Structure formats: structure tokens, C-alpha cells
């Protein structure tokens, strides 16, 4: 039985940023079916396509270079896949790169994710001071909702800077709990940026080689 694992780098932008993770999975599954791909399915009473997203994207955030993996029950080249699937994708969703993974390769393990959001001119000076305080702190404990345990926000931040009119951050993905970009914005007293019209986007997802 053929089980060809494929890793795709894709973008999810525009109005598609408002659809949730489950809707994105259904959208891609329908695109694969319309393209006539022979998907590999899980076993059991309710078989599902073998599709994984190493780091789901929160609603409202654009993804510039997202990662997903899925398995095929047939052998195709990356060019064949692109040619068949790309015409089936809705506006705002595009494949940037397609990689056919070697047999026996491990699933993608995310190390970090990078984000950026534009900052109005009048708020840059105050935000710069808050960034300095956050980076200078040995730790920055934050409480979380939905019964999740508190985490150290500072430990999640690999990079945080303000330049060219945008706030950029690279956040580590950690087994003991990882911070999200909106938690960083809240710590910087900038949680209102999105409601004021700023667009938050994830610019990169780094996976282990």
C-alpha cells in the first residue's frame, strides 16, 4: 500500500483569516477531492484523511508561510500536485512550496513561530519602552483562561523588536506551554491593536530539519 507523505507550505490571507482551523481542514479536504487525489485514510469506524497541521493558526491571524502534512495513497510529483490542486483552492489560500518527504521521515516538529503587526506612529515610543521592560525581565508570569496553567511569557520570547513601523516577534514552541502573539500584545498594553484595524500575521513557522 502506497503512503506518500507530503509537506506543504501555504498562505492563508485576506478574508480567509476569519475561518477556523476545522473549516480550513474541510476546505483543503474538498480541494483535494476536487483535484482527484487519492488520499490515505486512518483506520477505524470513522476513517479520516491523514492530514496534520503542526501549529494551528488562530482565527483572525493571517498566515504567510504555514505548514501542513498529508498522506497520499498514490505516487505523484510535487509539480503534478501543484497543477492539480492549485486551481481548486479558494481566493486567499495558496500553496507556496510542496515537498515529497522521504519514506520513514518524522512528522514536522515546530520550534518557533514568527509574527508581525503594524504599529501606529503615535504609539511607537511608548511601545518601545514596554518592549525594553519585558525583555529585561527575568520572568513574566501570566495567567491563562479556560483552566490552563500559568506560563512564563518571557521564556517563550526568542525575539521581540520594533522597526519599520511594525512589531516583530519570534516565539518558541515549548512542551510545557507556549505563549501566543496576542498574549505578548496584552503584556505590552497593545491588545487593542487589532480592534483598531491593525492586521496580525504569522510570517514563518520553523520546523526541525
Answer yes or no: are the C-beta atoms of 206 and 109 closer than 8 Å.
no
Specify the 3-state DSSP secondary structure of 110: strand
Residue 209 confidence (pLDDT) = 64
**What residue has cell string 486512518?**
42
Average pLDDT of 194-208? Answer: 95
For residues 49 and 25, give the distance between their C-alpha atoms in angstroms, rounded to a whole number: 10
Average pLDDT of 39-45? Answer: 87
Instruction: Give the mean pLDDT of the chain.
Output: 93
For residues 90 and 27, give the distance between their C-alpha atoms in angstroms, rounded to a whole number: 8
Q: What pTM does this model have?
A: 0.92
Q: Is 128 exposed, middle or buried (0-12, 13-18, 19+ CB in 10 A)?
A: middle
Question: Domain 110-207: which CATH class?
Answer: alpha beta
Buried b (16+ CB within 10 A) or exposed e, 4-28: bbbbbbbbbeeebbebeeeebbebb
CATH architecture of 4-100: 2-Layer Sandwich (3.30)
Torsion 203-79-69-108 (CA) sign: negative
- Percent of the chain past pLDDT 70, that is, above it, reads 100
Average pLDDT of 14-22? Answer: 94
Residue 143 pLDDT exceeds 70: yes
Q: How many other β-carbons are positioned within 10 Å of the β-carbon of residue 67?
A: 21
CATH 3.30.70.580 domain range(s) in the chain: 4-100
Amino acid at each position: 500500500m502506497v503512503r506518500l507523505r507530503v509537506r506543504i507550505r501555504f498562505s492563508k490571507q485576506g478574508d480567509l483569516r476569519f475561518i477556523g482551523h476545522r473549516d480550513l481542514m474541510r476546505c483543503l479536504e474538498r480541494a483535494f477531492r476536487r483535484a482527484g487525489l487519492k488520499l490515505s485514510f486512518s483506520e477505524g469506524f470513522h476513517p479520516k484523511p491523514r492530514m496534520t497541521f503542526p501549529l494551528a493558526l488562530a482565527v483572525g491571524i493571517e498566515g504567510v508561510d504555514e505548514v501542513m502534512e498529508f498522506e497520499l495513497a498514490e505516487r505523484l510529483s510535487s509539480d503534478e500536485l501543484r497543477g492539480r490542486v492549485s486551481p481548486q483552492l479558494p481566493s486567499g489560500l495558496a500553496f507556496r512550496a510542496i515537498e515529497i518527504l522521504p519514506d520513514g521521515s518524522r512528522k514536522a516538529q515546530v520550534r518557533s513561530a514568527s509574527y508581525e503587526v503594524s504599529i501606529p506612529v503615535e504609539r511607537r515610543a511608548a511601545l518601545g519602552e514596554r518592549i525594553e521592560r519585558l525583555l529585561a525581565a527575568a520572568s513574566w508570569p501570566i495567567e491563562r483562561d479556560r483552566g490552563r496553567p500559568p506560563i512564563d511569557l518571557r521564556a517563550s520570547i526568542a525575539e521581540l523588536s520594533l522597526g519599520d513601523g511594525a512589531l516583530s516577534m519570534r516565539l518558541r514552541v515549548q512542551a510545557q506551554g507556549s505563549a501566543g502573539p496576542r498574549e505578548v500584545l496584552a503584556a505590552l498594553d497593545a491588545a487593542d491593536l487589532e480592534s483598531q484595524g491593525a492586521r496580525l500575521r504569522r510570517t514563518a513557522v520553523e520546523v526541525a530539519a
